[in-house]
A = this chain, B = another copy of it.
Amino acid sequence: MAGQAPGMSAAAGSTDSIHLPRGFSFSAVAAGIKASGRLDLALAEAAPVTTAAALFTTNRVVAAPVEIGRKHLRAMGAHVRCVIVNSGNANCATGNAGIKDCLQVCQKVSGLLGLKTELIFPSSTGIIGVPMPVSKILAALPTLVAAGEASEHAVMQFAHAIMTTDTRPKLASAQFHVGRMNIRILGIAKGSGMIHPQLATMLVYLFTDVAATPAELKRCLRVACDETFNCISVDGDTSTNDTVLLMASGQSEVHLGAVKNKFQAALRQVCGSLAEQIVSDGEGVHHVIRLSVEQARSHDEALRLARSVARSLLVKTAWAGADPNWGRILAAIGASGVRIDPKKVTIFIGSQLVCRGGVACAFDEAEAHRELMRPRCQIRATVGRGRASAMLLTTDLTAEYVRINADYST
């Protein structure tokens, strides 16, 4: 997913400087939703005529803000003027009260900004099934709205305010030039657990100053997501609040149609970087695994095989121990439901062939162990059925993951 397109400058993580697209301002406050007192309410305001495209979770259980966000986009022909996000509460499985709470927040924001309510796009992330602390949010909104600014500092505050179990903020940006004009893309994401997206994933906000119709944006977003967020898995759990939102202010005065390939490449780069950051910051993760499955009949089949491996607890725990136990990988491939022939399977750990024709090869076990000790490892399997392949970015499963998620503190 990494690798930089030519003629493009990129910035990832929190240390590099950010390519800030024109037409957006950011702010964040601590509204008291998180018991820790940390930032938990974030706002991004967009210039007039900003177009948008969004992808949402495929979980049948969806949070109130996902329902409202989808409805608002539809009502306004995919125009968005403001994103309001809270962390610490998912506003999911909260019924009609949750819908009412979400709408109340949107109405208050729209009143403060003098905009139609349907131009507000809401998001929430945190615990499921607990009523929203809506009065805390309403009380904090005037300060939040007043604080908006188009600065690197404000972007960082926004990125911090949407975190839950994340240990670090996740940002990526890119810019490219067309004649004397330049186009910028900025992405901000959160996500650490419940990461096994099927269509969209986690909370991801993408800001650009290209000019584009919603349909153009949607096409670009779908392609970029399929190659990035849809190819990661931390724990096999698909969230109820996953949202990826792309907004285009048009303030670069360059139309997307004129720079389609460059824009798609830059968008892919930003999404790829954010996807990598999410997996690297996965709950309790010690090793990130770049898992390739090749020679499948279709991309879907390759992905299904890769997901079967990436969901196997025995495989993930072996990775935690840097154990080159390729037999567990082979068993997970065999249990995927794809009618593979074990005799055609080969498995590589790093650049070393460890299994050929479904059988052990003589290999340097110490070297394979060393490869798996690295924070980033490569595993590759070929299944001899066709020409399609897929790459999944996934993680080991450590005792720390269990501790993080078994820690009952309600």
Contacts and interface: CB of A to CB of B under 8 A. Distances in A.
Interface of A: 58-62, 90, 92-95, 97-98, 127-131, 193-194, 196, 198, 235-240, 311-314, 317-318, 320-328, 330-336, 338-342, 345, 355, 357-360, 365, 369, 396-399, 401-408, 410
Contact of A331 (B59, B328, B365, B401): B59
Given A93-B359, A327-B92, A320 B406 contact: yes
Given A238-B331, A313-B401, A331-B239, A95 B359 contact: yes
Listed residue (A130, A313, A342) with the most chain B CB atoms within 10 angstroms of its CB: A313
Contacts of A357: 95
Given A61-B330, A93-B355, A321 B240 contact: no
A60 to B, nearest CB: 4
B314 A405 contact: yes
A193 B62 CA distance: 33
Given A311-B236, A314-B237, A321 B360 contact: no
A194 B369 CA distance: 23
21 contacts: A59-B331, A59-B334, A60-B338, A61-B330, A61-B333, A62-B342, A92-B331, A93-B327, A93-B342, A94-B360, A95-B358, A128-B325, A129-B325, A131-B360, A237-B314, A238-B331, A313-B313, A321-B405, A325-B410, A399-B403, A402-B402
B94 A331 contact: no
A240 B345 CA distance: 15
Nearest to A58: B335
A331 B402 contact: no
A58 B335 CA distance: 7
Contacts of A345: 61
A237 B310 CA distance: 11
A93 B313 contact: no
A280 to B, nearest CB: 18
A240 B331 contact: yes
A406 B235 contact: no
Contacts of A128: 325, 327-328, 330-331
Contact of A317 (B60, B62, B130, B402): B402
Nearest to A399: B399
A370 B388 CA distance: 50
A194 B408 CA distance: 27
A301 to B, nearest CB: 13
Given A129-B355, A129-B360, A194-B314, A402 B397 contact: yes
B312 A236 contact: yes
A410 B397 CA distance: 19
Given A61-B330, A331-B128, A318 B237 contact: no
Contacts of A399: 399, 402-403, 406
A323 B408 contact: yes
B313 A237 contact: yes
Contacts of A313: 235-237, 313, 397, 401, 405
Nearest to A92: B327
A332 to B, nearest CB: 7
A403 B317 CA distance: 8
B235 A324 contact: no
A330 B61 CA distance: 7
A401 B333 contact: no
Contacts of A98: 359
Contact of A358 (B93, B97, B360): B93
Given A311-B236, A398-B402, A402-B320, A331 B61 contact: yes
B405 A398 contact: no
A58 B401 CA distance: 30
